[in-house]
Structure 1
Amino acid sequence: MHRKIRLAALAVGCLMIASSSSPAAAKPKVVVTIKPLHALVAGVMVGVGTPDLLVKGASSPHTYALKPSDARLLNGADLFFRMSERVEPFTVKVIKSLPRRVQVVTLRSAPGLKLLEIRTGTTFERHAHGGDHKHDRKHDHNHDQDHADEADTIDGHAWLDPDNAKAMVVNIEQALSAKDPANAAVYKANAQALTAKLDALAAELEQALQPVAGKAYIVFHDAFQYFEKRYGLNAVGSISVSPEVPPSAKRLTELRKKVTSLTATCVFAEPQFDTRLVKNLVEGTPVRTGTLDPEGGRLEPGPELYFALMRGLAAGLRGCLAPPA
């Protein structure tokens, strides 16, 4: 009799454990658009799960086309992280067709993000991103603005300032914790550790970039002003207004003047786009060329990608602007 009672109690206990552990063990299905954001989300999710990445390899989010397999992945997601409609135009239609249970987190709307307006001139001088703060915006969270990014004039590459990355980490942790309360303590601890690493990275980059602060250079497209402003760098122009729009003859003429007058020390290409424009621009001049990648196209995705990306930008700038003798 006692043996039957013990067996029955054991069976009930097993059922209770199974029923209570199943929901908690279900990891949230998370999808992220681009590598820098994926790295931050992956860092917050360490020990719980691994987010899926949409834009793989050296593909550009500006020109990315969703595949059927991507659509299936998104339809099965619990959380979908993106930067903005401007950075990932393919998401405009995507989010309209997602099931209602899929929560879309637009990190462009993260509280505390320090945002900069897009520069539209043919060339831009140091005062546009040095001590002049008139174009800075502290963004207050407003869900009504999540789907209106295309109507504003904000540069979407905000992750290139470590302080903005920290603000995103807070937003990521909150979204994950709300969706998966059972692992909230893990997400919070990971977010705190990641924030400390970002602080250390910011200080490291400050020291590394001091020797090239103020030296003039030209970029392929204007994707780096958050990095420039944070570290006192001096981009004087971009070849293209945006990756989707080829530069006009007038724009190239103005940039050529910059190059031939030796105002610019280097011209930087991007691995995702045709490098012939850069070669043509510097032909017959002593100006050096380099490569800068704002999205980590050549890097392996994962929690460490963001740090490799930022250190790679610093190394690329130093290598061209202050090459070893």
Structure 2
Amino acid sequence: MRYIISFLLASTAPALAEVPRVMADLPPVHSLVAQVMGDLGQPELLLDKGANAHSFQMRPSQAAGLQEAGLVVWIGPEMTPWLDRALAGISGARQLRLLQAEATYRQGFGAEEGEAHDHDAGLAEDHAEEEAAAGHDHTGIDPHVWLDPANASAWLGLIAAELSALDPENAATYADNAARAQADLAVLDAEIASLLAPAKSTALVVYHDAYGYFAGHYGLTIAATLAEGDATGPGARHIAEVEALLNAGPACLFSEANHDPKLVTQLAEATGLTAAGLLDPEGAQLDPGAGLYGNLLRALGTTIADCTN
């Protein structure tokens, strides 16, 4: 009789909600989700270390994992079109598209750098056509939105809210983790701002147009980019213009992770400059995990400051 009662009690007890299975597209997004989840669980990163974020192909095991995911956190099809295609075949998958989130500050490619972003003024007008997914043309809205720490801070709260909706029993933990991560990010942001203050008068030449948000947030000037698109190499006239800019000085020339440094090396030799260092805007060469986002921002700030100082 005792066993029957125990069985009845067990069968009528409310089932505890499981921590949702979460998948993220890019290392910086994965890092932010990991900070919010904390010890409750680990999100899964879709993009392999060092892979191209625009043309990645998922493994069958990753595609199967998407079918079971409780939440997919990603920038959007403007950055990872391969994930958009995969999600199109999944009905009912809960998604958090960060680029389209109301709290996200957005701007177009080639937006003016050197001025602080006004996050209180609302979102930038989204009037441009979508990027061409295959070639990732540098027109339309710039999807490298994680490089603005103010966006990342807002996303921590959004991620906590999404996780809380799926797992209300742990809502307080998600909220506490997000608040702690936001506080840590605010401290790091102030440190980087101080570090980069002397760099505001220096022209920065980067490989491709990925740094508008970072430059705008910290008041830096991206004077030129080498590549005119991820699928388009620079022409001779453009290279000559960049070389003239570098000769005019003062300027810093940077290579970039996942891109051939040959052109940067040639320009450095032609102008007598030393290539300032390698920038990694997607964290492609960093170890994934909760600490990656802070390490990514710190590495960008330090590399730029080392040149300008």
TM-score (norm 2): 0.88
Other-structure match for 2:96: 105
Question: In 1, Cα distance between the equivalents of 2:222 and 2:294?
Answer: 22
Per the TM alignment, residue 62 of structure 1 is displaced from its structure 2 partner at its CA by 1.8
Other-structure match for 2:14: 20
Question: In 1, Cα distance between the equivalents of 2:202 and 2:25?
Answer: 33
Per the TM alignment, residue 105 of structure 1 is displaced from its structure 2 partner at its CA by 1.5
Other-structure match for 1:285: 271
Question: In 1, Cα distance between the equivalents of 2:228 and 2:79?
Answer: 14
Structure 1 vs Structure 2 CA RMSD = 2.5
Asked whether the 8 Å contact 1:36–1:306 carries over to 2, the reply is yes
Other-structure match for 2:135: none
Judged with a 3 Å threshold, the aligned counterparts in structure 2 of structure 1 residues 197 and 223 are, in CA distance, closer, same or farther, namely same
Other-structure match for 2:114: 130
Per the TM alignment, residue 20 of structure 1 is displaced from its structure 2 partner at its CA by 2.7
Asked whether the 8 Å contact 1:77–1:102 carries over to 2, the reply is yes
Per the TM alignment, residue 249 of structure 1 is displaced from its structure 2 partner at its CA by 2.2
Unaligned runs of 5+ in 2: 133-138
Other-structure match for 2:123: 139
3-state SS of paired residue (1:94): helix
Choose the corresponding residue for 2:71, options 75, 79, 95: 79
Q: Which amino acid aligns with 2:256?
A: E
Asked whether the 8 Å contact 1:34–1:295 carries over to 2, the reply is yes
Judged with a 3 Å threshold, the aligned counterparts in structure 2 of structure 1 residues 55 and 165 are, in CA distance, closer, same or farther, namely same
Instruction: Count residues in correspondence.
Output: 299
Higher gyration radius (CA): 1
Judged with a 3 Å threshold, the aligned counterparts in structure 2 of structure 1 residues 288 and 194 are, in CA distance, closer, same or farther, namely same
Question: In 1, Cα distance between the equivalents of 2:158 and 2:65?
Answer: 22
Question: In 1, Cα distance between the equivalents of 2:279 and 2:261?
Answer: 12
Q: Which amino acid aligns with 1:44?
A: V
Question: In 2, Cα distance between the equivalents of 1:71 and 1:113?
Answer: 28
Judged with a 3 Å threshold, the aligned counterparts in structure 2 of structure 1 residues 34 and 210 are, in CA distance, closer, same or farther, namely same
> For 1:188-242, what per-residue CA distance to the aligned partner results, in whole angstroms no more than 9, with x for missing partners?
1111111111111111111111122221120001111111111111220101122
> For 1:14-63, what per-residue CA distance to the aligned partner results, in whole angstroms no more than 9, with x for missing partners?
444xx534x42x22111100000000011111122111001121112023
Q: Which amino acid aligns with 1:110?
A: A
Question: In 2, Cα distance between the equivalents of 1:139 and 1:170?
Answer: 18
Asked whether the 8 Å contact 1:109–1:139 carries over to 2, the reply is no
Question: In 1, Cα distance between the equivalents of 2:191 and 2:116?
Answer: 24
The reply on whether 1:271 has 2:257 as its aligned counterpart is yes
Question: In 2, Cα distance between the equivalents of 1:95 and 1:14?
Answer: 37
Asked whether the 8 Å contact 2:114–2:200 carries over to 1, the reply is no
Unaligned runs of 5+ in 1: 121-127
Identical-pair percentage: 33
Q: Which amino acid aligns with 1:116?
A: Q
The reply on whether 1:88 has 2:77 as its aligned counterpart is no
Asked whether the 8 Å contact 1:84–1:149 carries over to 2, the reply is no
TM-score (norm 1): 0.84
Per the TM alignment, residue 66 of structure 1 is displaced from its structure 2 partner at its CA by 2.3
Structure 1 residues 231-242: aligned runs within 5 Å:
231-242=218-229
Question: In 2, Cα distance between the equivalents of 1:133 and 1:206?
Answer: 14
